[in-house]
Amino acid sequence: MGRRRLSNISLKWQAIQNKVLKTDSGCWLWQGHTNAAGYGIVTCENMTDLPENSGQVTVHKVSYLYHYGRLPKDKIILHDCDNKRCCNPEHLRAGTHLENSRDAQERGRLRGINYIKEYGCTRTELARKLNITPGNLSNRMRKWGNPYYKPGNR
């Protein structure tokens, strides 16, 4: 039984690798389907090590399970590289939802700072460029860190 489970996950990982683009930055970017949040997804069957067992499973979760042998209890798999399609096990770590939202807020904040650097302007000027109030800019930065946020959403 254990053997069969192992071969299931190995086969799935092999199939995934055929659809992965290895970038110079070290990210292994999934080239297949993604879910609404932007994470790579694959369809699995009889993956008894996965809570979902069958159906759509995120690619990075399959990678984590394959490389680390098991999924951590009560934790989610986070991307240190912030690339949702990345499945390089070295870029993945277990964390909590709270950590994830903290990370997301931090990413949103950093993205705002990057914009400010890129445009060479102040927060107030950036808000003006985006046609929002400086107060709304903070909300916007939080949204940028939200995996469900898509550019163009207000």
Binding window for Zn ion (CB under 5 A); candidates: 4-12, 23-31, 33-41, 144-152:
23-31
* Residues 86, 153: Cα–Cα separation, whole Å: 24
Cβ-contact 126, 119 below 8 angstroms = yes
H helix intervals, the chain? 2-17, 59-68, 97-119, 123-129, 134-144
62 binds Zn ion (CB under 5 A): no
What is the spatial distance between Cα 31 and Cα 86, in angstroms, rounded to a whole number?
A: 10
Tell me the per-residue interface mask from 68 to 97 with Zn ion, x by CB under 5 A, - otherwise. -------------x-x--x-x--x------
Report the distance separating Cα 100 and Cα 102, nearest Å.
5
Q: Which helix (H) or strand (E) holds 75?
A: none
Q: Shortest gap between Cβ of 23 and Zn ion (angstroms)?
A: 8
The helix/strand/coil state of 92 is: strand
Q: Which residue in the block uniquely carries the two structure tokens 């299931």?
A: 8
Q: How far is the CB of 55 from Zn ion (least distance, A)?
A: 25
Q: Shortest distance, CB of residue 25 to Zn ion, whole angstroms?
A: 7
DSSP class of residue 89 equals G
Q: CB-wise, 63 or 83, nearer to Zn ion?
A: 83
Least Cβ distance, residue 28 to Zn ion (angstroms): 7
Q: What single DSSP character describes residue 48?
A: T
- Pick the stretch among 3-11, 24-32, 35-43, 54-62 that binds Zn ion (CB under 5 A): 24-32
Q: Which of 29, 126 has the CB closer to Zn ion? A: 29
In the complex, minimum distance from the CB of residue 54 to Zn ion, in angstroms, rounded to a whole number: 27
Instruction: Build a one-symbol-per-residue string for 25-54: x at contacts with Zn ion by CB under 5 A, - elsewhere.
Output: --x---------------------------
Q: Which residues bind Zn ion (CB under 5 A)?
A: 27, 81, 83, 86, 88, 91
